[in-house]
Amino acid sequence: MAARQRIIPVRREYNRWVANQTLEDYALRFTAKSARQFSSNRISHTAIGAISFLALEAIGGAITLSYGTTNAFYAIIVAAIAMLAVGLPISRYAIRHGVDIDLLTRGASFGYIGSTITSLIYAAFTFMLFAIEASIMSGALELALGIPLWIGYIISAVMVIPLVTHGVRLISRFQIITQPFWIVLNVLPFIFIALMDWEKYDLWRAFSGIHHASGPPGTVAHFNLVEFGAASAVILALMSQIGEQVDFLRFLPAEGQSRLRHRIAVFLAGAGWVVVGVPKLLAGSFLVVLTFSSGVSVDRAADPAQMYLTAFGYMIPNHTAAMLLMVAFVVVSQLKINVMNAYAGSLAWSNFFSRLTHSHPGRVVWLVFNVVIALLLMELGIYRLLEETLGIFSIVAMAWLCTISADLFINKPLGLAPPGIEFKRAHLYDINPVGVGSMALSATIALMAHFGTFGALAASLAPYLTLIVAFIASPLIAWGTKGKFYLARKPRQKWRELSAITCSICEHPFEPEDMAWCPAYAAPICSLCCSLDSRCHDMCKPKAKLNYQVATVAKSFLPHQLVAKLATRLGRYGMAAAIAVTAIGGILALIAHQVGTASPATADVVNRTILIVFFVFAVIAGIVCWFLVLAHDSRVVAEEESSRQNTLLLKEIAAHKKTDAALQDAKETAEAANRAKSRYVVGLSHELRTPLNAVLGYAQILERDETIPPPRQSAIKVIRRSADHLSGLIDGLLDISKIEAGRLQVYSNEINIQDFLDQIVDMFRPQAQAKGLEFRHERAHSLPQYVRTDEKRLRQILVNLLSNAIKFTDEGSVTFDVAYRSQVASFTVSDTGRGIAEKDLARIYEPFQRGEAESVRPMPGLGLGLTITRLLTNTLGGEISVSSEKDQGSTFRVRLMLSAVHRPSTAPAPEKTIRSYSGPRRTIVVVDDNEDHRELMRQVLVPLDFVVLTAQSGPECLTLIEGVKPDLFLIDISMPGMTGWQLVTKLREAGQIAPLIMLSANIGDGTVAGAGEDNHNDAIAKPVDIRHLCDRLAVHLGLKWIYDTDLPPPPAPQPPAQIVHPGAIHIQDLQRLGEIGYIRGIEAKLADLARNTDNLPFTQELGTYVQAFDLAGYAHFLKRFSDSDRGDGKA
């Protein structure tokens, strides 16, 4: 299905920060298998370190003082067995599925929102126990060091925070380091007491509590079932300790390397904590009797600091040393447990608030929050109300944990609940009646019993009643609901085969167990991002939401009219206010009960005061609830409107996507047509350049021919300039594509602007005069002699403007003005022609556009001149403007930056005619499939004393140069069969090291790239400029030209030497060598004949044909002698 929501980047970054496991330590999520790499030994030591808390000794001492040794002993043993039985299934499932106690609660019959109340219970346990332990530590600091309690509370709380911020890794190190010290000091005092004062053990056995008279040492105190139950209630409050154990068990792999050691470690670190806890409870029971018998008051005897001070007194006679040892032991013990309390509390608060607020600022924030609450509770004296507080708390905690244990131990094995633990919001019902109902039922019955509803005996045994009811109610409710409220939807089975899946929100990879499919985003989402999403409204499970479940139950048990009224704004306000007032009343009633128990004399005053406070808070709660109901309705309306707008926006986006797809198709079609056009233009330019090369080449040759009469020289110059202009037009066609592609290269050269303008004027003045137009030209006196610009591009701009002015002007004049100021030249071309209509001015620069007058009197041209002109002007950093009136003429103005050059680097020398070059004769091979070009190159190079060899293809060239080392190659690129690039590669492979110059009509248009590009030395575009060609030859061959001014006056003509017949036999030999083309054999034969000085004229004449590889002329020359009648056989 299409995603209804859009992922907002800010929110993605927020979730990504929360998902960082450096500090989070897998809060709110499944512990990845990749992170469960700790050894069984390390985790077991860490978890067992939690049993160091001295609250065990305090509880053991408190129940012994109140109920005697016998009742305390049996209560410890029975309660330990109960906690062990309840904890074993919890530990087993936690380690198997890698979940903490909150995630385990979700999947063990409570549901996603149902486990919220258990998170609060667990968080309360952690800060209550933290406060108790910190109170003990503060008392020890006060006793030993005289530190005031309020300062001791702060020290005890703050010291824990840096040890917990970095999670299980730092905690495990701390626990392992302190473990030996704690074990030794736990055991040694009892060894010394047994050796030095064994009688105290008999005194302990006989102790009956402060409310009963104790028997003589050696006897056993009496047993009382009611007091046994009361003592058990206090001990069973510690059942929540299994939650802290589970929070560390989740980091163990499901199976260890040694199965026996692994199982022992799992047992001791999990439910087996009571195995270590029972001796500590008994130790507290014994030490309180020992301390009390030593003369310490009842109020202080149950203080663990006072207990161990008395015990260490047996080890160290020095009181000060014993005091210091005691405070060190207490500090270590309390830090060991409080790091666990703080860590567990941070997880519990994270889970609680993430579900209520859909926000998670980070586990470290809730760590500080938990410590602050505990610090406040210490000031309220929670340690002094230990028995009453833990007696009530044990009932609620047992109802929660016994329900979980019953589900894991009974429901899942019997098939009443699905196997495994599902913890993700996307797959769970908000409320599972199995867990919530069982806990509510067992806690209600037990609390009623605790407050005396069923008598004194039931009140004392209320915690055991909780256990029994939970283990009965859980399977019955699961059977009655047929287990359908465990899973709202099942996870994707095919994901199990994947090693990791990337979350679409935070973009982190997670294991499949931590991922769900989100229909709101139409993509996978991790459990954390799913928990924090507040906008989806659980659209993946509409019938599993809390409001739907509550409405369904209400409709089943209440009249429809009442349900309808409760659904109104007033009805919802009434329910919210009732819940708030009931909660406030319950809390205040609990406070009144505790204060009345602690101080009966002031109970009446406290009750009246609390009643007044209740009514004040009730009014405030009513106002706040009304505000919350109105704010909720406003938020719902805003979200509905936002959803509607979002839906419309998504529809609009979908429509835009369709339009964009159509535009993309049109764009691709246009680009394909444009590429086809470009290929056509490139091909056309090649076809035009080929004959133009011959025209321009021969025009340059004729310009240098001194035998042509002067009147014809000007005509030849016109031919050359016209050919140059035509070449520029062809370049302009290619420039459009280059500019659009961003590949046009601009050069900055020093040019003689005065001569340049003279050439332009000389080119167009005859054209204007031929058409009967007056051609006017003015230039500013401030125009320098030399400027810096791209001569070729400037020429194109001016040629296009002037040619258009002459073309579209039938009578009148054409004016070409040049102004210059502040390094900026302004070129103005004005005419008195037909002008441009105002509506055409906006589109005259568009390709192939014509004005309306074209339909009346069409003019030659492609409609690209102004397009090219504007593109080139913009490329050179200038600007072009136009003003025109219909039938009045037009004025084009181009402004360009032409920086003046005051000291040109090279002053142009007057053009001189090259006659030859110094040094040995050089051989040049011309390879071109066009015969006209080959002949042109011969006509250009042979008069300069080059030996020119020609080939019309690559294979012919390779055959031609066998055994010959030419000095330079001129190679055409586009040839049928073997291309110029391929020939270059072959030549280099054949060992030719001579310079290779590429000639092509397509140089620079991007179509001539080939594999041999790196092997050539230079490239020259057709039509070939002879001056430029000579410059490149001089560079690559290291030539020093001989100009016509360098030649000495020609000597007086000498009569040619007479050629002597060498003899018929020699003529026949030379003819046979010529027929087979054996050049080396011919050269050897001529060298042999040249030994006779009479044959020198003959060998020199014939050698010129051989050097030129002109075998046809060679054969014709010999034929003259074979036909002669002379044949004296002279050798």
Query: Is 732 inside any structural domain?
Result: no
At residue 16, the pLDDT reads 46
Element (H, E) at 426: none
CATH of residue 166's domain is 1.10.4160.10
Ranges 169-178, 184-193, 516-525, 732-741: which has the least confidence = 732-741
Query: Is 647 inside any structural domain?
Result: yes
At residue 244, the pLDDT reads 85
Given the DSSP bridges, would you call strands 749-752 and 774-779 parallel, antiparallel or unpaired?
unpaired
Q: Facing residues of 1041 across strands?
A: 917
Same domain, 572 and 673: yes
Same domain, 607 and 630: yes
Answer yes or no: are the C-beta atoms of 47 and 270 closer than 8 Å: yes
> Residue 138 CA to chain centroid, in angstroms?
50
Q: How far is Cα 992 from Cα 1024, in angstroms, rounded to an integer?
A: 25
Element (H, E) at 828: strand 824-831
Same domain, 812 and 939: no
pLDDT at 831 over 70: yes
At residue 473, the pLDDT reads 95
Q: How far is Cα 285 from Cα 302, in angstroms, rounded to an integer?
A: 9
Q: How far is Cα 153 from Cα 157, in angstroms, rounded to an integer?
A: 6
> Domain total for the chain?
5
Q: What number of residues does the chain have?
A: 1131
Structure token digits, residue 906: 């090279």
Same domain, 285 and 370: yes
How large is the average pLDDT for residues 1050-1063? 63
Answer yes or no: are the C-beta atoms of 370 and 205 closer than 8 Å: no
Helices then strands, counting H and E runs in the chain, come out as: 41, 19
Q: For residue 93, what are the CA distances in angstroms to 100, 102, 275, 567, 862?
A: 10, 13, 20, 40, 84
- More reliable by pLDDT, 683 or 88: 88
Q: For residue 357, what are the CA distances in angstroms to 352, 623, 641, 830?
A: 9, 21, 22, 77
Highest mean pLDDT among 93-97, 132-136, 472-476: 472-476
Structure token digits, residue 1131: 């050798």
- More reliable by pLDDT, 5 or 439: 439
pLDDT at 1127 over 50: no
pLDDT band, very low/low/confident/very high, at 74 (cuts 50, 70, 90): very high
Same domain, 999 and 1117: no
At residue 2, the pLDDT reads 45
At residue 1130, the pLDDT reads 41
pLDDT band, very low/low/confident/very high, at 820 (cuts 50, 70, 90): very high
pLDDT band, very low/low/confident/very high, at 561 (cuts 50, 70, 90): confident
Of 1046, 1078, 1102, the one marking the end of a domain is 1046
pLDDT at 385 over 60: no
pLDDT tens for 300-322 read: 888 888 888 888 888 888 888 98
Q: Which domain holds residue 371?
A: 38-199+230-408
pLDDT band, very low/low/confident/very high, at 830 (cuts 50, 70, 90): very high
Same domain, 760 and 798: yes
Query: Is 828 inside any structural domain?
Result: yes
At residue 403, the pLDDT reads 95
Query: Is 595 inside any structural domain?
Result: yes
pLDDT at 241 over 90: no
Same domain, 1034 and 1110: no
At residue 1128, the pLDDT reads 46
Same domain, 278 and 394: yes
At residue 738, the pLDDT reads 63
Of 408, 434, 466, the one marking the end of a domain is 408
pLDDT tens for 502-522 read: 888 877 888 888 889 888 888
pLDDT at 11 over 70: no
Structure token digits, residue 284: 């507290």
Q: How far is Cα 423 from Cα 679, in angstroms, rounded to an integer?
A: 64
- More reliable by pLDDT, 386 or 344: 344
At residue 10, the pLDDT reads 43
- More reliable by pLDDT, 692 or 807: 807
pLDDT at 1032 over 60: yes
pLDDT band, very low/low/confident/very high, at 82 (cuts 50, 70, 90): very high
pLDDT band, very low/low/confident/very high, at 729 (cuts 50, 70, 90): low
| Residue keyed to tokens 């053990």 | 201
Among positive and negative, which fits the CA dihedral 153, 158, 159, 161? positive
Q: At what angle do helices 273-293 and 40-48 cross, to 10 degrees?
A: 30
Q: Is 1 exposed, middle or buried (0-12, 13-18, 19+ CB in 10 A)?
A: exposed
Q: How far is Cα 272 from Cα 291, in angstroms, rounded to an integer?
A: 29
Please give the single-letter amino acid code of residue 250: R
Q: Is 627 exposed, middle or buried (0-12, 13-18, 19+ CB in 10 A)?
A: exposed
| Residue keyed to tokens 């034929």 | 1119
> Residue 37 CA to chain centroid, in angstroms?
28
| Residue keyed to tokens 């950093």 | 877
At residue 29, the pLDDT reads 72
At residue 1011, the pLDDT reads 46
Of 370, 390, 408, the one marking the end of a domain is 408
Residues 6+ apart with CB under 8 A from 860: 807
Q: How far is Cα 926 from Cα 971, in angstroms, rounded to an integer?
A: 6
pLDDT at 571 over 90: no
Average pLDDT of the chain is: 81
Residues 6+ apart with CB under 8 A from 520: 3, 4, 5, 533, 535, 536, 539, 540
| Cα-Cα end-to-end distance for the chain | 105
Query: Is 341 inside any structural domain?
Result: yes
Beta strands in 492-623 (DSSP E): 501-502, 509-510, 515-518, 523-526
At residue 731, the pLDDT reads 66
Please give the single-letter amino acid code of residue 740: E
Same domain, 863 and 925: no
- State the alpha helices, DSSP H only, in 198-272: 199-206, 225-236, 241-249, 259-269
Same domain, 361 and 396: yes
Structure token digits, residue 542: 């509409």
**DSSP string covering 971-997:** EES--SSS-HHHHHHHHHHTT--S-EE
Q: How far is Cα 50 from Cα 276, in angstroms, rounded to an integer?
A: 10
Q: How far is Cα 793 from Cα 798, in angstroms, rounded to an integer?
A: 9
At residue 182, the pLDDT reads 87
Element (H, E) at 813: strand 813-821
Please give the single-letter amino acid code of residue 976: P
Ranges 647-661, 766-780, 836-850: which has the least confidence = 836-850
CATH of residue 996's domain is 3.40.50.2300
Query: Is 427 inside any structural domain?
Result: no
Percent of the chain with pLDDT over 70: 84
Structure token digits, residue 835: 């002008």
How large is the average pLDDT for residues 136-146? 86
Query: Is 710 inside any structural domain?
Result: no
At residue 970, the pLDDT reads 93
pLDDT band, very low/low/confident/very high, at 739 (cuts 50, 70, 90): low
pLDDT at 1006 over 60: no
Same domain, 80 and 108: yes
At residue 410, the pLDDT reads 94
Answer yes or no: are the C-beta atoms of 405 and 437 closer than 8 Å: no
Answer yes or no: are the C-beta atoms of 53 and 128 closer than 8 Å: no
Answer yes or no: are the C-beta atoms of 441 and 503 closer than 8 Å: no
Helix (H), strand (E), coil (C) string for 585-620: HHHHHHHHHHHHHHCHHHHHHHHHHHHHHHHHHHHH
Same domain, 772 and 874: yes
Query: Is 80 inside any structural domain?
Result: yes
pLDDT at 113 over 80: yes
Ranges 91-100, 418-427, 505-514, 684-693: which has the least confidence = 684-693
How large is the average pLDDT for residues 192-221? 80
